[in-house]
Amino acid sequence: MDWQAIGLSLRLALATTLVLQAVGLPLAWWAAFSRRRWKFLVEAVVALPLVLPPTVLGFYVLIAIGPRSPLGALYGRLTGGLLPFSFSGLLLASVLYSMPFTVQPMVAAFSAVDRRLLEAAWCLGVSRAGTFRRVVLPLARPGIATAAILSFAHTVGEFGVVLMVGGNIAGVTRTVSISIYDQTQSLDYAGAWHTSLLLVIFSFVVLALTYSWQRRAWMPWPGR
Amino acid sequence: MAGTLTAQCRTVLPSGFLLDATLALPLDQAPVTVLFGPSGAGKTTLLRLLAGLDRPSQGKIVFRDRVWCDTACSEWLEPQQRRAGLVFQDYALFPHLSVERNVAFAASGDAAGRMMERFGLRGLSGRLPRAISGGEQQRVALARALAAAPQLLLLDEPLSALDAATRAKTRRELRALLLSAGVPSILVTHDRTDAIALADWMAVMVNGRILQAGPVREVLARPATAQVAEAVGVENVLPAGIESRSGGLLRLRVGNSVLQCLDGGESPPVLASIRAEDVALTRDPAAASTQRNRLPGVVRTISIEGPLALVELDCGFPLVALVTAQSAADMSLVPGESLVAVVKTTSVHVIAAG
């Protein structure tokens, strides 16, 4: 089994989950409570990775982080490295790709918090940030945990985006799903078998845990 | 004025409902105000405007010389700055926090402990809100609001979520609690018993407008318009013509009868309002009495409501009398019999109908 690829996938999934928690919480909060008329546009952009072929997303990310793009040039100036075919580039692509799996459960959890509880806290003199920390976060905790688990599991399993943006560099960008692809291509069916089975068991355990914790089906965009 | 709350708010809800309310409350003379009116009158909407949870499209709210909201100069205080404790109809307790931590949520100093003591919540401190009764939840909500040292307390239908037995008990205790808190309060209700038992001041709201405000008994006894009379539940509001006026007394023609009442200088068209409890019934048409208004009529229906009996009469116009079930039984009243309704001069109030 390709333990190096498995280790890399876990590292990438963990980093992606952490970044997405930081980015997703404010974004989901805004999506759940904002009354802006153009909110649906942001919702649609966040949900795009659900329907786009990973190759399309990967292609645009590759272009956007290339050394001639503003982002790639900035990264090059700051670190002296290149984003494409690096772990950082892979991380950026993974964050975009798993965004809906973080934001949507969070929005569902935030929307389920009774608005009057927030208003009660405000009338008691507690600031909006304090209310978020002391009322919304504790009540939305199961949804936030679901978001973390789903984005972690989804990142472990991604293939197309990784192939487009990361290529196939052992120890740098060769994740577990690409390793399985390689093994199959080189007719190493035993290796592919083992790694695949590991992934199936891992995914099943994660989802079973999530659903037993949540006790309700996770839906795409929640009603409002 | 220093001790007043004044509010002029105009706002249109998404449903198209127009609220256009003007309110001036003497908080120091009348510590407990009731915002009274039928469901859908806009009472909760006004409460939310006062709390700062919603913005009026036009309006100004001034609390003790402090401007809370003035759309003319974009003055706006957030709910956090107004410190108006709002007790929601279903209490909105934080479901993930124990009773004690709910009360202590925004408490300053040792206020949480004092409130737990005063509201008798010590025995419940570790329980979660869903594990205590409705009456207990209400006490927690009040304690939580008061522990945050509010300047004004707003209560939305404080008794409506309680069962009948708890409701009567809580009604007795609530006024004492509100007075001892030393914080002026505004409570919303559509129940006349609640208004009489709890409040000093009453503002009657119908269709998004404040129609009349004043001391509770004054408003109940002397509704200024037919709409207020209907809202506060005056049973008899009768179209009347002015027959004559002399010596401070007014003689009104109602149907084929003449009613005498005090002359407030009203000009026609007018309505005569008589509370059902001010109508007495007798069989003897000639008995000497100080009651000047004697209306012969026929009993139509008798409905017993607990200790009271509501008697509908036909005196040429419908008239409702509220007597005790005991006296209805003693007089053995039956539908169809003729008797005389008597009303004191001072119990007939003239309302300008225009």
Give me the domain span that covers residue A82. Answer: 3-214
Instruction: Say whether pLDDT at A201 is over 50.
Output: yes
Task: Compute φ and ψ for A131, nearest 5 degrees.
Answer: -65, -40
Mutate to test the interface with A, among B45, B47, B53 (most CBs of A within 10 A): B53
Kindly state the DSSP code that residue B138 receives in the 8-state scheme.
Answer: H
Minimum Cα–Cα distance from A139: chain B residue: B96
Q: Does A133 touch chain B (CB under 8 A)?
A: no
Mind telling me how many Å the CA of B220 is from chain A's nearest CA? 32
The pLDDT mean for chain B works out to 89
Residue-level pLDDT at A223: 40
pLDDT at position A80, please? 81
Over the stretch B298-325, which tens digit does the pLDDT of each residue have?
Answer: 999 998 888 888 899 998 888 999 989 8
Residues 6+ apart with CB under 8 A from A210: A145, A146, A149, A150, A218
In whole angstroms, give the CA distance from residue A155 to residue A173: 13
CATH number for the domain including A129? 1.10.3720.10
Question: Chain A partners of B53 at a C-beta cutoff of 8 Å?
Answer: 119, 122-123
B148 at the A interface (CB within 8 A)?
A: yes
Residue B317 sits at φ, ψ, to 5 deg, of -145, 155
What pLDDT does A219 receive? 43
The rounded distance, in Å, linking the Cα atoms of A8 and A170 is 9
Tell me if chain A has a CB within 8 Å of the CB of B112: no
Owner of token pair 């000047």? B292
If residue B272 lies in a helix (H) or strand (E), which one and from where to where?
A: strand B270-274
Question: What pLDDT score was predicted for residue A214?
Answer: 66
Chain B interface includes A127 (CB < 8 A): yes
Supply the pLDDT for residue B265: 79
Q: How many CA atoms lie within 13 A of A162 on its CB side?
A: 27
CB pair distance less than 8 Å for A125 and B95:
no
Task: Kindly list the distances between the CA atom of residue B141 and the CA atoms of A134, B105, B132, B137, in Å, as whole numbers in the listed order.
Answer: 17, 11, 12, 6
Token digits of residue A223: 């009603």
Structure tokens at B95: 């479901």
Q: Report whether pLDDT(A133) > 90.
A: yes
Cβ distance of A139 and B51 shorter than 8 Å: no
Helices (H), chain B: 43-51, 79-82, 99-103, 111-118, 134-147, 164-181, 192-198, 216-221, 226-231, 325-330
Q: Which amino acid is at A149?
A: I
Interface test with A, best of B88, B98, B183, B185 (most A CBs within 10 A): B88
Interface membership of A216 toward B (CB under 8 Å): no
SS3 B324: strand
The dihedrals phi and psi of B262, each to the nearest 5 degrees, come to: -75, 140
Residue B217's pLDDT is what? Answer: 85
Q: Which residues of A touch B95 (CB under 8 A)?
A: 117, 139
Cβ–Cβ under 8 Å, residues B112 and B100: yes
Domain count, chain A: 1
Q: Compare all CA atoms of chain B with the CA of A125 and give the residue at the minimum distance.
A: B80
Domain assignment of residue A221, yes or no: no
| The predicted structure's pLDDT at residue A218 | 43
Spell out which residues of chain B touch residue A134, defining contact as CB-CB under 8 Å. Answer: 105
Q: In whole angstroms, what is the distance from residue B204 CA to residue B220 CA?
A: 10
pLDDT of residue A221: 43
CB–CB of B92 and A114 under 8 A?
yes
pLDDT tens-digit map of A64-82 = 988 888 888 888 888 888 8
| Spatial separation of the C-alpha atoms in residues B228 and B212, rounded to whole Å | 7
What domains, with CATH codes, occur in chain B? 4-83+151-228 (3.40.50.300), 234-352 (2.40.50.100)
B145 and A CB contact within 8 Å? yes
Can you give the pLDDT at residue A39?
Answer: 87
- B92–chain A Cβ distance below 8 A for any pair: yes
Share of chain A above pLDDT 70, in %: 95
pLDDT digits (tens, 9 = 90+) for B208-219: 999 999 998 888
Cβ pair B96:A121 closer than 8 A: no
Q: Which amino acid is at A182?
A: D
Could you tell me if residue A81 is left (phi over 0), alpha (psi between -120 and 50 degrees) or otherwise beta? beta
Q: Contacts of residue A122 in chain B, CB cutoff 8 Å?
A: 52-53, 78-80
- Cβ-based neighbours of A208, under 8 Å, separated by 6 or more: none
Give the contacts of A40 (CB within 8 A, at least 6 positions apart). none
Q: Looking at CA atoms only, how far is residue B260 from chain A in angstroms?
A: 52
Q: Bridge-partner residues for B4, per DSSP?
A: B26
When pLDDT is averaged across residues A40-58 and rounded to a whole number, the result is 90
Distance between CA atoms of B128 and B143, rounded to whole angstroms?
A: 15
Q: What is the ipTM of this complex?
A: 0.79
To the nearest whole Å, the CA of A135 is away from the closest chain B CA by 7
Does residue A124 form part of some domain? yes
Tell me which amino acid residue B160 is. Answer: S
In a domain, A65, yes or no: yes
CB contact under 8 A, B94 and A114: no
pLDDT of residue B102: 95
The pLDDT tens digits along chain B (354 residues) read 568 999 999 999 888 899 999 999 998 888 999 999 988 899 999 999 999 999 999 999 999 989 999 998 888 999 999 999 999 999 999 999 999 999 999 998 889 999 999 888 999 999 999 999 988 999 999 999 999 999 999 999 988 888 888 888 888 888 888 888 889 999 999 888 888 889 999 999 999 999 999 998 888 888 888 889 888 888 888 888 888 888 888 898 888 888 888 888 777 788 888 988 889 888 876 666 666 788 889 999 998 888 888 899 998 888 999 989 888 888 888 898 888 998 988 888 888 776
User: Cα–Cα distances in Å, from A23 out to A20, A54, A95, B160, B304?
Assistant: 5, 21, 9, 43, 66
A87 within domain boundaries: yes
pLDDT given for residue A224 in this prediction: 37
SS (H, E, C) A63-123: HHHCCCCHHHHHHHHHHCCCCCCCHHHHHHHHHHHHHHHHHHHHHHHHHCCCHHHHHHHHH
Q: Which of A33, A117, A123, A126 to mutate: most B Cβ within 10 Å? A: A123
Q: Which residue has the higher pLDDT, A85 or B204?
A: B204
- In angstroms, the CA A183 to CA A178 distance is 9
Reported confidence tier of residue A35, pLDDT bands at 50, 70, 90: confident
Q: How far does the CA of residue B331 sit from the closest CA of chain A (Å)?
A: 54
A168 in Cβ contact with A84 (< 8 Å): no
Residue whose structure tokens are 């965009």: A221
Q: Would the CB atoms of B53 and A122 count as touching at under 8 Å?
A: yes
**Residues of chain A found within 8 Å of residue B82, distances taken between Cβ atoms:** 123
Pairing of strands B249-254, B257-262: antiparallel
For A147-161, the pLDDT digits (tens) are 999 899 899 888 888
3-state secondary structure chain A: CCHHHHHHHHHHHHHHHHHHHHHHHHHHHHHHHCCCCCHHHHHHHHHHHHHCCHHHHHHHHHHHHCCCCHHHHHHHHHHCCCCCCCHHHHHHHHHHHHHHHHHHHHHHHHHCCCHHHHHHHHHCCCCHHHHHHHHHHHHHHHHHHHHHHHHHHHHHCCCHHHHHHHCCCCCCCCCHHHHHHHHHHCCCHHHHHHHHHHHHHHHHHHHHHHHHHHCCCCCCCCCC
To the question of pTM greater than 0.90 for the whole model, the response is no
Residues forming a β-bridge with B25:
B5
B88 contacts chain A (CB < 8 A)? yes
Give the position of tokens 């003379």.
B29
Measured between CA atoms, how close is B207 to chain A, in angstroms? 24
